[in-house]
Amino acid sequence: MTSARLKRVEESATIRISNIATRMIKEGTDVINFSLGEPDFDTPKNICDAAAKAMYEGKTHYAPSAGIPELRAAIAEKLKTENHLEVTEKDVLVTPGAKQAIFEIMMGALDDGDRALLFDPAWVTYDACIRFSGANTVWVPTVPERGFLPDNFAEYINDKTKLIVVNSPGNPTGGVFGKKTLQCIADLAIDHDLLVVSDEIYEKIIYDREHISIGSFDGMQDRTITVNGFSKAYAMTGWRLGYLTAPPEIFKLLQKIQSHSVSSATTFVQYGGLEALQGPQDGVKAMVDRFKMRRDILIDGLNKIGIECKKPDGAFYAFANVSEYGNGTEVAERLLKEAHVAVTPGIAFGASGEDFIRISYATSIDRIREALERLEKIFA
């Protein structure tokens, strides 16, 4: 009575932990929730006003499946000027969130039995979408001491390999791929005729590093699918607005999937996205500066307690090694039960995360300090 395809996919560990924490909070427990990857800032007022204005002007009807022309043009301009990608508005597909873009890509690019490479650890939904498509995930180990960067991974490629997923800055580690690493990935993709899916949703949340789009490298224009969105940079998680750009042949397939599934992103929400791109960017910088302060307080505090954790170069996650106190699952359960601090077990993101926990520092400095005090009582 149920689809065999769905049996290949496990429940999201991040959502499960968050649901438990939410239930405890409703029952009256003071839980500090570090489990979800969501900025705690409000969406900037100018963006809200633009969406509201569009709604009250009657822009509540169906939008073109690929997105309203104004937003597609603004995204194309952004990709050209900031990411150095040679695209036009006809190459842009606006989606109901970047997660939907990832889903459409895996369904459109992979067949049963194909192989897709993920750098371990990786965001949980990549593996789920690969499995939905009928393909198989190949987990490529990374080097924690080098910021979870991939090392020599050519041996993981064979004639069934179809694509490589790149996420920089990355979830769950906050790792950032430099030019050398990206060039290595690009060279292998070209040599083996592979697609690269580059998820750049955290590109603006980066600290003292430069974000580089692999699609801008020589030879990568026709084999890179670039994904981005508004959730993280503009604190618009609930708006569900993302986008992608892809080579023409693949783009047509993805547009077909969208038109027969979700139809389009919400019409008036797209006008909010247009304002996000074209309006003031001060809010983005202020938010990133705040995240950096939180990162420094959290990482310094963890290391003082004795929990090994390197400073991430991007996103808003700390991936902490808790092997001295047990594996990541054991520690996460203990923290929730004894300290009322919700974190995500690292194993949720791949086998290499077994001894780690992911801490999302998308919460206030006061709550971070309080959480550190609770952790110290447990581990000191």
Structural domains in the chain, CATH included, are: 6-43+282-379 (3.90.1150.10), 61-278 (3.40.640.10)
pLDDT of residue 49: 98
Which of the four pLDDT bands, split at 50, 70 and 90, describes residue 10? confident
Tell me 310's DSSP state.
Answer: P
* Token representation of residue 368: 């971070």
Share above pLDDT 70 across residues of the chain, in percent, rounded to a whole number: 99
Q: Is the pLDDT score of 261 beyond 80?
A: yes
Q: Is the pLDDT score of 105 beyond 90?
A: yes
Model's pTM, two decimal places? Answer: 0.94
Question: Which stretch of 43-47, 141-145, 274-278, 333-337 has the lowest confidence by average pLDDT?
Answer: 141-145
The mean pLDDT value of the chain amounts to 95
Question: Reduced to 3 states, what is the DSSP secondary structure of residue 360?
Answer: strand
Q: Is 144 left (phi over 0), alpha (psi -120 to 50) or beta?
A: alpha
pLDDT of residue 214: 98
Say if residue 178 is exposed, middle or buried (CB neighbours under 10 Å; 0-12, 13-18, 19+).
middle
Rounded Cα gap, residues 312 and 169, in angstroms? 9
Q: 164, 110 in Cβ contact below 8 A?
A: no
Rounded to an integer, the average pLDDT of 66-75 is: 98
Rounded Cα gap, residues 72 and 170, in angstroms? 25
Peptide bond into 150 cis (omega under 30): no
Count other C-beta atoms under 10 Å from residue 338's C-beta. 11
Backbone angles phi, psi at 186, to 5 degrees: -60, -45
